[in-house]
Structure 1
Amino acid sequence: MTIEVQASDITQDGSIKLTVDGKTITFVKESDLGAVKAQLKDRDGEVSTLQTSLASANVKVDESHQDVLKERASKKTFEEEAGKSATLSTEVEGLKTKVADLEKVGGERDTKLTERLRGILTTGYKIDGEKIKDMALDALEQTERTLILTGVTPTPAKYDGGGGGGGGADDLKDKSPLALAAMGYENSNKK
């Protein structure tokens, strides 16, 4: 293939522009080509440096992104735990109220038991009420145990109200059921 160059094809910087098979090709002087290659090497070095910097920046971005994801997960976990904590706080308050109510009821029952035990000691064992009026429940229980261990027995209660009403159980001995019913009927009519 033969190429002819005309003076009009040479540009002012010394390059030649030719059209070959419909494509424009630019030919430059070898000295200009060396300068362009040197600039290209410099540009390649800059590109390489920029690519290294970009890769380093991408690593930092990825690390930061991972940190953000961890923080979001921590925040979500914290919010869930805070919700559970609020629920537990509500439950604790409810339990505190129940405990206070139970302590109140327990205190009332302790008071009733203490008074009942004082009554048993004063009426059954004939202990002076003034001597035990300030004793706590534990001391009263210990006193009752001591009395039982020493063999003291409580005085049996009198169920007839002290007014008498006739004979005792001996009057009912050897009576038939019909006779007992008749006696009960007579006594109920007297009242």
Structure 2
Amino acid sequence: MANSFTAQIKIFPYTFAPRNWTWCNGQLLAISQFTAFYSLVGTIYGGDGRTSFGIPQFQGRTPLHAGTAPGLTPRVIGQWGGSENSQVSPAYLPTHTHQIKAVLASGSDTSEAAANNSYLSASRPGGTIVNERSYCSTPPGTGQMQMAEAAIGLTGGSDGVPLRQPYTALHFCICLEGIYPSRS
């Protein structure tokens, strides 16, 4: 890798960083030891700019091109963003409907409803289903019945939704000492 540029980033399948390269894991380096490297990247990736500067952090991150394009928001070199997990609220779910399955059961006979997992009301003393997609009504003029708890409920937890695309783990390394790139 004698032709590598200082601060060039490459992906390696090795279990070690090659000579004159280091892992892109966000560590701080001394400016006094890597002055050419520091003159190229400065404190884009961290450090105080007096005695130390940072290496990019690629552990658990996906590289993204700096800049912008039509329909995309601008990205500044060194900018971090995103998360591995996210909470999804109902506001982010697409508009959709669910059909309620229901059966007519006379009196307290709920065996057919249980067999079809289609309870609609908590009790059926003489009740009739007015609309299979909305509610159950007691005899005319007495109002609506309470929906059965088994008919609808919450599901899921609060751990978040994974946002990772399919991946293969490899090592990102950055060249500490190489050819100093010209700005032509």
TM-score (norm 2): 0.16
Q: Which is helix-richer, 1 or 2?
A: 1
RCO higher in 1 or 2 (8 Å CA, sep ≥ 6)?
A: 2
Q: Which is strand-richer, 1 or 2?
A: 2
Structure showing greater Rg: 1
TM-score (norm 1): 0.15
